[in-house]
Amino acid sequence: MTPDTAFDLVRARAETPGCKNVLHFNNAGASLMPACVLEAVKGYLDLEAAVGGHAAHAREEDKVERVYAAAALLLNADANEIAVVENATRAWDMAFYALARTFKPGDRILTGEMEFGSNYLAFLHMAKNAGVTVEAVRGDDTGAISIEALEDSLDERVRLIAVTHVPSTGGLVNPAAAIGRVARSNGIPYLLDACQSVGQMPVDVEEIGCDFLSATSRKFLRGPRGMGFLYVRADWIEKMDPPFIDQHAAAWTAVDTFEVRADARRFESFETSFAGKAGFGVAIDYALDWGLENIQHRIRGLAAKLRDGLGDIPEVRVHDQGIEQCGIVTFTKDGVASDFIKGVLARRDINVSVSPVEYARLDMERRALPPMVRASLHYYNDEEEIQRFLDAVGDIS
């Protein structure tokens, strides 16, 4: 696979100011914002400083509200099914802890062996407090969740299937739609963590069949930090009692009564970053303008080239699994700590991150993996940067 030669790389890099400063291979951590997103956030903050926060919102409400329609278009959902919150973890938590109110001792949660650490901590929290059991469905020969094993794990005590679409510690893509078909046919709620998939590939909630989905702004959508969203399927909204509410999520109808709002915004709080919302909406529209299929093709081609190049460097071991892979590339170098590699690269203005064991303990302990260097690419990266990166890794000893 080679990068898409028709992709307008000149435009992509010209519209990304950070490309002039760094070689940024940490897009799974936080991407470089395009200029239009930066301008939207700064412009809104400038208005807040000039006229006050509430007056700014009154003037720019359409720009703030755009994020709901944009997110719905991105996911093939309805705007009433979208809640915008402060991050993807809070989005995921709001769905999980709302569902968890119905859990009883002996109920089962099914997840994957590569589930992200924050999610698994919530499972353990619920196991401790509610007596549920947490079980990781084994992977297939490629490392992805085995659909056969998932089906074999089902019984009447399974109350939730919760999986990560793209694990943050490897390049594979889990079979989200196949998992959705299993969940739907057995009437089991399905919570999908799409933090690393939304923005680097098409994600269609109707095709996938998930009931809940969480995602972030700062990663492949290239939006501002401190923003995320939750999708809740319409027929689930009224069934979900939020873990907490305020006068944005509910109305105080009488001295001793209240009414929770009928849309997904029941999972939001009143106070939020309105500048962040304005920028987030612009970021989603920007991704839609490039086209998610084009973005996916470009990223996959670049990542494949990087994996091939790393594989040619003596003592470097690439640890990605899966038949379907994406823009996350993880590797180690024999005898060299990953944190040391990250530090050396940083001094050369090259950004990567390190994935420690606690990010995906089940998988990394099972495969006896040490902390890994994670290089994650986006469409504005280019082949010259890949060669520069390979040269830098090869020089490290």
Domain count, the chain: 2
Closest C-alpha among 279, 280, 261 to residue 270: 261
For 122-147, the pLDDT digits (tens) are 999 999 999 999 999 999 999 999 99
Asked whether residue 2 is assigned to any structural domain, the reply reads: no
Domain boundary residue, one of 289, 312, 346:
289
Pair (269, 343) in one structural domain: no
344 and 277 within one domain: no
Whether residue 133 is found in the same domain as residue 275 = yes
Q: Are residues 236 and 333 in the same domain?
A: no
Q: Which domain holds residue 83?
A: 38-289
Residue 129 shares a structural domain with residue 211: yes
Structure tokens at 175: 């079979």
Three-state SS sequence of 129-184: HHCCEEEEECECCCCCECHHHHHHCCCCCEEEEEEECCCCCCCECCCHHHHHHHHH
Q: Which pLDDT score, from 0 to 100, does residue 292 have?
A: 98
Supply the pLDDT for residue 138. Answer: 96
Q: Which of 289, 317, 337 is the last residue of a domain?
A: 289
Query: Is the dihedral angle over the CA atoms 64, 66, 69, 74 positive or is it negative?
Result: negative
| Same domain as 390, residue 261 | no
pLDDT of res. 100: 92
Asked if residue 121 and residue 92 are part of one domain, the reply reads yes
Domain containing residue 192: CATH number: 3.40.640.10
Clarify whether residues 150 and 74 are in a common domain. yes
> Do 334 and 193 belong to one domain?
no
Q: Which residues of the chain have pLDDT under 50?
A: 1-3
In one-letter notation, the amino acid at residue 103 is F
| pLDDT at position 6 | 79
* Together in a domain, 276 and 295: no
Domain identity same for 121 and 236: yes
pLDDT at 13: 98
Q: Tell me: do 59 and 206 sit in the same domain.
A: yes
Q: For residue 1, is it within any domain?
A: no
Q: Are 28 and 168 in contact (CB under 8 A)?
A: yes
Residue 32: C-alpha distances to residues 70, 218, 223, 376 (Å): 20, 9, 8, 12
